[in-house]
Amino acid sequence: METILVDMDEVITNVDFVAKVEKYLGLKLDLSGQVGYYLQDLLGDQKDAFFEQFRKENIYENSVLVPGCYDVLKRLQEHYNVYICTDYIWREMISSAGDNLRNKFNFLYEKLDFLDPRQYIFTADKSVVQGDIKIDDKVSNLMGAKKKLLFTAYHNKTLTDEELRQSGIVRVNNWADIGKVLLDGYDFPETSPISELNEMIQRLASEGTINKKMVSDGHHTFGDLYEERAYLFAALCNSFPHLSWKSRKHYDEENDPMFNGDFIAGINTPRGIVTYHLKNKYWDLFKVSERERAFKYDGCGCDIKVLESLDEEKPKVKKKSIN
Ligand SMILES: [Mg+2]
């Protein structure tokens, strides 16, 4: 029997996080274009206040099952080993994870009475849990499965059929689609060489068989490219010292500690903050002001379009004679 790992949020139940954010902001969000997975990044300065209120709620208390979920999941259980695999830690409220886990457990126990609680998997890292089939609304959570079903959600609807096909992913818009694919017989697309290769790299690296830094395109290894990026980003930051900074701590270091051996450097461009994590050995390359803590993450990260907005700024480069 094949094993299925089924995601909970946005697949089994929809807590309508979009409506909660819209209500808090008092406006209707435009979700027609490219929208990131973490909708809360749209909250900007209001994020802390939103989560202060949000953490007090049991968001599953009044939630219902997505239509068709109960019947299809029950039928799947006759043909597959079914597990619910769900992340229970919100990065913004790690200390409330215990409450969230309890709320999730109670919801599943009440609503899906044909499942044994030993079929629940609560984790903060789905990449370490593997099964033959994965159903999830987040593409990265599907990796490692032989059969990948992407449940349509606001943040993944702009992915094209061709993009999904290349990664061996099948889109399902509802539970009727899941039933058709997994119960009525369906020819899954051949996994593309690219997705096979990427999964092989991840697997060999996690086993300790290879060092990802040594993977090459025939001209440069990843190690080369990351090192060049460090030098080039340092040069860029040094050209805009009035906008740039570096820090050994994240903004919320208590809940989101800096990765071991890394620091963070950033440029506050006119359209957002662009940041990279870098190894400590590159610290002195960055001739910019040091901050006790990084600026608060504004959702931009290393968005190239935001970086392009530096065109609106004048670099402050000291002129040197070449004679
Ligand atoms: Mg989900």
Q: How far is the CA of 9 from the centre of ligand 1 (A)?
A: 4
Residue with tokens 């700024």: 313
42-74 pLDDT per residue, tens: 676 777 777 777 777 788 888 899 999 999 999
Percent of the chain with pLDDT over 70: 92
Among the ranges given (19-23, 216-220, 222-226), the one the predictor scored with the smallest mean pLDDT: 19-23
Phi, psi of 291 (to 5 degrees): -110, 150
254-296 pLDDT per residue, tens: 877 888 899 999 999 988 899 999 999 999 999 999 999 999 8
Q: How far is the CA of 313 from the centre of ligand 1 (A)?
A: 40
pLDDT of residue 215: 94
pLDDT of residue 321: 60
Q: How far is the CA of 304 from the centre of ligand 1 (A)?
A: 27
Q: How far is the CA of 139 from the centre of ligand 1 (A)?
A: 10
Q: How far is the CA of 166 from the centre of ligand 1 (A)?
A: 22
Per-residue burial over 209-245, b = 16 or more CB atoms within 10 Å of its CB, e = otherwise = eeeeeeeeeeeebeeeeebeebeebbebbbbbbebbb
Instruction: Report the alpha-carbon distance of residue 148 to residue 164 in Å, rounded.
Output: 10
Q: How far is the CA of 154 from the centre of ligand 1 (A)?
A: 11
pLDDT of residue 205: 84
Q: How far is the CA of 295 from the centre of ligand 1 (A)?
A: 28
Q: How far is the CA of 253 from the centre of ligand 1 (A)?
A: 26
Q: How far is the CA of 196 from the centre of ligand 1 (A)?
A: 24
Instruction: Report the alpha-carbon distance of residue 42 to residue 124 in Å, rounded.
Output: 23
156-174 pLDDT per residue, tens: 888 888 888 877 889 999 9
Identify the CATH number of the domain defined by range 3-204. 3.40.50.1000
Instruction: Report the alpha-carbon distance of residue 163 to residue 59 in Å, rounded.
Output: 33
Q: How far is the CA of 85 from the centre of ligand 1 (A)?
A: 10
Token pair for residue 161? 């059929």
Q: How far is the CA of 195 from the centre of ligand 1 (A)?
A: 21
pLDDT of residue 36: 64
| The pLDDT of residue 315 is above 80 | no
Q: How far is the CA of 138 from the centre of ligand 1 (A)?
A: 6
| The pLDDT of residue 32 is above 80 | no
Instruction: Report the alpha-carbon distance of residue 161 to residue 159 in Å, rounded.
Output: 7
Q: How far is the CA of 27 from the centre of ligand 1 (A)?
A: 24
Amino acid of residue 136: D
| The pLDDT of residue 84 is above 80 | yes
Domain ranges of the chain: 3-204, 222-312
Q: How far is the CA of 171 from the centre of ligand 1 (A)?
A: 14
Q: How far is the CA of 40 from the centre of ligand 1 (A)?
A: 15
Q: How far is the CA of 185 from the centre of ligand 1 (A)?
A: 25
Let me know: does 156 contact 150? Beta carbons within 8 Å: yes
